[in-house]
Amino acid sequence: MVEKKLTVGYIQFQPQFGQPDKNISYILERLNKIKDADLIVLPELCTTGYAFNNREEAKTYAEPVPQGKTIQILLSIAKKRDMYIVAGINEKEHDNLYNSAVFLSPNGYVGKYRKNHLFNKEKIIFNQGDLKFPIFHIDDIKVGILICFDWIFPEAWRTLVLKGADIICHPSNLVLKNLAHRSIPVTAMINRIYIICSNRIGIERNLTFIGGSMIVDPKGNIVHRAPSDKEESYVTIINPYKARDKKITERNDVLSDRRPDIYEL
């Protein structure tokens, strides 16, 4: 096994609804308290909050990517701190609105993912993602992004895994208790990947967000899980190359043993 060290983590906090300036200042404060990290994952819609009443309301807080003010501020910190940042953003492009996540590097803006599987009321607020499942790079490490409710679709994880993802970042605003938190370790295990789920906490309008951000290793072990109702920044050192070992036994490999020829409907 080749050794490669990457310090990765998340910031679990409570974004204030409709207060991007306040939220970005808070995120900066929290990022500055993290001594050293290569990759930090922030929650879904982390600069605007989540519980929009309708599309018009969401639009008033949306930003173009990457020109938006909060993204530019995050880019400056990525550069200054020499770190990669994945952050959930309310994205406006012309008349369209996307629940997106940006992938920012120390050298600037890299790209974005737009949530493919919208949850509940999001369906009347945002457009469906139209960028499929992009892969981003940290040197030779491959990183994918899924956003919150995407978690319930095994095809989403598997597509990224078949494209070589070693780490999948999962900016979230989870509200359904005891579902994703049970599924994510199993998903990491059957795909042999690292998952960094960055969830939020707090109550917004009629929604309670359930925290429990977690980092899971390719054997499905929970390296660390945050509380359900408290803020927490957490970083740990991982060896992403461990996600390249897909072997379960001497004779079994979870990718090369697949038999797509018999998976027809």
Q: Which residues bind ligand ACM (CB under 6 A)?
A: 44, 119, 148-149, 173-175
Residue with smaller CB distance to ligand ACM, 24 or 148: 148
Residue with smaller CB distance to ligand ACM, 50 or 243: 50
Q: Which of 112, 115, 142, 242 is catalytic?
A: 115
Q: How far is the CB of 151 from ligand ACM (least distance, A)?
A: 8
| Closest-CA residue to 86 (of 50, 125, 121, 136) | 136
Which pair of structure tokens corresponds to residue 155?
């095809």
* Residue 259: other Cβ atoms inside 10 A: 6
d(CA 83, CA 35): 11
Q: Is 33 a catalytic residue?
A: no
Residue with smaller CB distance to ligand ACM, 168 or 174: 174
What order of strands is seen across the sheet that includes strand 6-12?
Answer: 108-114, 96-105, 84-93, 39-41, 6-12, 232-238
Q: Which of 63, 91, 92, 148 is catalytic?
A: 148
Q: How far is the CB of 237 from ligand ACM (least distance, A)?
A: 29
Q: Is 148 a catalytic residue?
A: yes
Residues sharing a CB contact under 8 Å with residue 125, sequence separation 6 or more, in sequence order: 52, 54, 55, 58, 97
Q: How far is the CB of 119 from ligand ACM (least distance, A)?
A: 3
Which residues are tagged catalytic?
44, 115, 148
